[in-house]
Structure formats: C-alpha cells, structure tokens
Structure 1
C-alpha cells in the first residue's frame, strides 16, 4: 500500500501525510510541482519530525509518476469528491496506491481518467471536502484494515 499526493500546495498537509505514512509503514509519493519549496528542512519546520523515517518517493511530474506505477502494475485509487464508489463499499488490495489531489483544485481530468477506481469518503451534505491529510489518514486506515496490513 502506498499513498500519493498530487501537486500538494501546503507543507503542513504533506508533513502530516508523511507522518501518517511513516507510522503505518507505507511509502509516500510526492508528485511535483509542489506549492512550496519541498525539502526535508521545510517539512521539519512544518512539524514533521518523522521525515527521516518516512519512505518518500519524489516524482518530478505526473507522467513520471504514472510511468513508475504502471511499470510496477500498481492500481491507482483516486480519492475525490466526484468519486463513484463510497469508501465503505470499495475493496482494496495490498498493492494499491491511494492518490489525493491538490488542496485547491484536486486533480485534472487526465489524472481522473488514469485512475483504476474513484472513491469518495462519505460525509454530511453541504460540506465541500475534508482536509487532504485527514482524508489520507481515513482512507489509509480503511485500506490497511481491509488488507490486514497494519504493522505489528
């Protein structure tokens, strides 16, 4: 199981997501460009003292990330407010990559089209979306629960 952040804009959200990935022993992919100067020092300033323990993969752009994941035959599960499948109804596999879009804009249509599945986290009506780091934590916990992938 991996998580991936598409062109994240807020260092604090990246730091929180990387901390979650480190705590659960999953890889984290950052698909650049970022909306801030990406460095371990910037993440530490954002309060992410787990950066050295996280397995971080940086991809210079979407095409490089997509080529990487296709070469490893990993399914891409996009979390989106436009998702067709509610999270409780989706079945994960251990090799899935959970993808989360940019805070202000999500992902463009070509990324939606590349996804093997689109999943939404159900919430009350009249709310636009959850924070991306919160969404990543919720989704990862459910995916690991289903696949029995929690660390011992």
Structure 2
C-alpha cells in the first residue's frame, strides 16, 4: 500500500481528514476516466470518506482533468493507491467489502450496510472481475435501472448513489434513541 501525494494531490493533508474516522470507504478498481475519479474524490472529500485507487489506473495521478474534476478538494481526500487488486484485497482483509456491478442480483437499497463497509466499484469499461463477483455473490450489489437502452450508469453517479444510501442507513443505526417522555398524572 502506498499513499501518494503528487503536487498537492490526495494524502492526508487536511486536519479534517485525520480527525474524523469514516464509517465507510470507497474503492475504485482500475478506473480509466480521470474526471470520473476526480468527481468520486470530490464526493469522498465532502463526506470524509477514504478513497482507495487500485492500479493500473487509466491516467496519471497528476492528470489535469483528474485534478480539475476534484477542484481544490484533493487535500481533503484520504487517498490510498494499491498496486494491484490482490494487494488491495490483502490490505482490506478482515473488512467487509461490498462489490457493485450491473451483473449482481442483490439491489443496493435492500442491502443492510454497516459501519466499516468498503464500497468497491470496477472500471468504467470492464467492471469488476467475474471471479470476484462469483466469490462474493452475497455482497455483490446492483443499482437497478428501468431502461434497457442504457448499459450502465456513470461511475461517479453510481458511487454517489450507493455511498449516500449506505450513509443514510448507517446514520439511522448510529442515531441515539430519544428517551420517551413519561406521562405524569
């Protein structure tokens, strides 16, 4: 595992990143399109969620389109770059990984998310490997679409949908229960 910081990109630069332990993490396996990754990073910065990038990447981390899509939020994204999918899986051993794919059969909004989950997404053109989805069919999730004319959702859109559903559920789990008011007579 290596945390990379190229030209002010990523790493653990902002104090807010280090101070907050995120109940979720996001991983992109072999992302290919710089603006998609930049937009995902921006979303991760907005909600203090660490981002894992699994090589090979379809761009350089210093790519201007990647940095532009993330605007000036890169210092607030905790980015870890892994040299391969196998390396990432070893690094995340013991963690619950949730694999998102249009080929999965479980709907993302019917799944129960837990603090510590890592939401894993494949590349824009290949998705996640079939062997990985088959090995973890009980944690392979899909975002259903109503149109047969659309092959898939944009990667950044899919991450946003799944991440905010997981956050919504976890927030409900972590919310303190309000004491019931006693009725006095």
The answer to whether the superposition gives a TM-score over 0.5 is yes
Structure 1 runs not aligned, ≥5 long: none
Partner of 2:102: 81
Residues 50-108 of structure 1: CA deviation (Å, up to 9, x unaligned): 111101111011111000000xx111101100111112211101111101110011011
1:148 aligned counterpart, secondary structure: helix
Inter-partner Cα distance in structure 2 for 1:79 and 1:119 = 5
Inter-partner Cα distance in structure 2 for 1:9 and 1:120 = 20
Q: Is the 8 A contact 2:27 2:120 kept in 1?
A: yes
Q: Is the 8 A contact 1:6 1:102 kept in 2?
A: yes
The higher-RCO structure (CA 8 Å, 6+ apart) is 1
TM-score using structure 1 length: 0.89
1:51 aligned counterpart, secondary structure: helix
Q: 1:125 to 1:42 in 2, by over 3 A?
A: closer
Q: 1:146 to 1:117 in 2, by over 3 A?
A: same
Q: Is the 8 A contact 1:18 1:48 kept in 2?
A: no
2:79 aligned counterpart, secondary structure: strand
Compare CA radii of gyration and give the structure with the larger one. 2
Pairing partner for 1:133 from 147, 156, 181: 156
Structure 2 runs not aligned, ≥5 long: 1-23, 173-185
Q: 1:99 to 1:46 in 2, by over 3 A?
A: same
1:30 aligned counterpart, secondary structure: strand
Pairing partner for 2:78 from 48, 51, 55: 55
1:48 CA displacement: 3.1
1:98 and 2:119 aligned? yes
Q: Is the 8 A contact 1:40 1:51 kept in 2?
A: no
TM-score using structure 2 length: 0.74
Backbone CA RMSD of aligned residues: 1.7
Query: How many pairs are equivalent?
Result: 147
Inter-partner Cα distance in structure 2 for 1:82 and 1:29 = 22
Pairing partner for 2:143 from 80, 99, 121: 121
1:46 CA displacement: 3.8
